[in-house]
Chains A and B, each alone.
Chain A
Amino acid sequence: MSSVSKGTRRASAPELPVAAPLAISAEEFHSLLDFFYRKTGIVFGDSKRYFVDRRLLDRMAATGATSMRAYLTHLKYQDQAGLELQQLINAMTVNETYFYREEYQFRCLVADILPEIVARRSIAERQPIRLWSLPCSTGEEAYSLAMQLLENWPDVDRYDIKICASDIDTGVLRRAAAATYDDRAVQHLSAALKARYFVHTDGHWQVIPDLRCSIDFSPINISDRRDMSRHDAMFDVIFCRNLLIYFDDISRRQAAEALFDALRPGGFLCLGHSESMSRISSLFTVRKFTDAIVYQKPE
């Protein structure tokens, strides 16, 4: 997995009061980077020094650490529940959502993943092809999947397809169902796509009714076994992007088991571009396609 880079930055924490800059020595910097890499698999190259420094200084201020050494000590030896590590991960990973985010996975879906799935289906198969956007947040990913299939999958009319979208937060689910977005969310969409799938009023873009109704929104807690077991072996593809990175080791491990169980044999799992199963689980097979590396449940 390469270094974190893409996406526009959300407005961040208030600027630090300007004082003498806290020195971070090369050793301390590398010690922290190695610790972060061991925990998350994320590598920051030298070009990201400024990016990382700023966030470290933010976290030092937030935790009251007077030196980098003090912050490292807290992070490595005192942070029993992993709460500060979580804050650091949140700070270091960019988390914007918008339509067609991490587009290369959408390309991979129609170019490689779906062709494999349909090639494997028996003629007698009655179940629809099921895709899951989890967490779906305010719905951009689920609607993007629908548009991608309609626009770019040649076989879209030959199969029944069901797109499910779930989140633990019922507030964002309501917003996802309402499907009304601002200019920033749709900035990567072509004019043609916007014209075809959105109604533009009052500076807002609302997804057209046909598309809105085609997504099945439901609440889910990925850490709840009862909840997740309702979906055993249901899905051909799961998009679980930029969720697991926010979990602790144990929860992440349990979530990987749940995602595995929710997939049909041979089904595919896509994580966020800076996420990797290498820190989580060996249940999945690593699959390389032209546009992406994805994970597959063995058949």
Chain B
Amino acid sequence: MPLLRSHDAAAPPADERSPETLVAALRTAPSETARRSAALELGAMPDPASGVAAMALGECLGRETSPRVREAIVTALVGIGTEAAAGALAVHLHGEDAALRNDAIEGLRQIGAAAAPHVEQLLGSPDPDVRIFAINVLEAMRHASAAVWLRRVLAHDTEMNVGLAAVEAMAQVGGPEDVPCLRAFAARFADEPFVAFAVNEACRLVGAGAAT
């Protein structure tokens, strides 16, 4: 019978590499597999090495060309999950690389509450796209201030697409008390069919009952 009886392979030694060795590997190892391994190991570093790890991971994220290594870097940062790790991701929301931005947004969502200070800062960016990305993160965070920040955007942001991102986010995190704010936003862009649609949908989902 060709199905082999088993003999366990000897377990290879545990990874004993120091943070410095791992960072060097992440920066310079020629193979994707080696850089992935270094990134994931850095993500598992206990404190205080995790602070150093977060910085190095963030720095490499911007320069790394392999999408699979980038994925591992983001996984590592999410695993570290500190405000510093969130900061390492947040800087990439300003960049030109759409794929990197989207990876960073996803990572920030998964970090959750620790990313909140960075998200709040990004919501104040002069760049409307950055404000949209910040809202995209906010939408998936269970954060106590989320609705408050979104209300502020709906009331004051001059860019329609930023407001629309906030409408979508509010549909996920808002409650019936957010309906007046949503309606007020719709009134600001009364000529746009999608705005009316989106606000009606959001009001429905947050529990206002039938759209008016």
Contact = CB atoms under 8 A, between A and B. Distances in A.
A–B interface present (Cβ within 8 A): yes
Interface of A: 25, 27-28, 30-31, 34-35, 38, 69, 73, 76-80, 128, 146, 149-150, 156-164, 210-211, 213-216, 218, 225-226, 229-230, 233, 249-250, 253-254, 257, 260-261, 281-283, 298
B4 A162 contact: yes
Interface residues of B, number: 35
B36 interface: yes
Contacts of A149: 3
B151 to A, nearest CB: 15
7 contacts: A161-B3, A162-B3, A215-B6, A216-B6, A216-B8, A229-B12, A283-B68
Contacts of A257: 36, 40, 71-72, 75
A195 B11 CA distance: 38
Interface stretch (B52-60, B90-98, B127-135, B204-212): B204-212
Nearest to A211: B3
A218 to B, nearest CB: 7
Contact of A80 (B6, B33, B142): B142
Contacts of B173: 76-77
Nearest to B14: A226
Given A79-B142, A257-B40, A282-B67, A161 B2 contact: yes
A257 B42 CA distance: 14
B34 to A, nearest CB: 11
A69 to B, nearest CB: 6
A149 B2 CA distance: 10
Interface in B162-179: 172-173, 175
Contact of B2 (A38, A73, A78, A160): A160
A73 B173 CA distance: 9
A225 B36 CA distance: 13
- Top 7 nearest A-B pairs by Cβ distance? A216-B6, A214-B3, A162-B4, A249-B110, A31-B205, A253-B75, A230-B11
B153 interface: no
Contacts of A157: 2
A211 B2 CA distance: 11
Interface string B60-78: 0000000110011001001
Interface of A is mostly: helix
Nearest to B74: A253
Nearest to B210: A27
Contact of A281 (B1, B8, B71): B71
B87 interface: no
A154 to B, nearest CB: 12
B41 interface: yes
A189 B90 CA distance: 54
Given A30-B205, A230-B12, A250 B6 contact: no
B15 interface: yes
Given A160-B4, A214-B5, A253 B110 contact: yes
B44 A225 contact: yes
B71 A218 contact: no
A157 B3 CA distance: 9
Contacts of B6: 162, 164, 214-216
Contacts of A211: 3
B51 interface: no
Contacts of A225: 15, 40-41, 44
Contacts of B14: 226
A34 B201 CA distance: 12
Contacts of B40: 225, 254, 257, 261
A149 B14 CA distance: 34
A161 B79 contact: no
B61 to A, nearest CB: 15
A163 B3 CA distance: 7
Nearest to A145: B3
A282 B3 contact: no
B3 A27 contact: no
Given A69-B207, A76-B142, A79-B142, A250 B81 contact: yes
Contacts of B79: 250, 254
B71 A128 contact: no
Contacts of A79: 142
A58 to B, nearest CB: 22
A27 B142 contact: no
A159 B3 CA distance: 9
A214 B205 contact: no
B35 to A, nearest CB: 12
A150 B1 CA distance: 9
B129 to A, nearest CB: 22
Nearest to A34: B205
Given A80-B142, A215-B6, A218-B8, A254 B1 contact: no
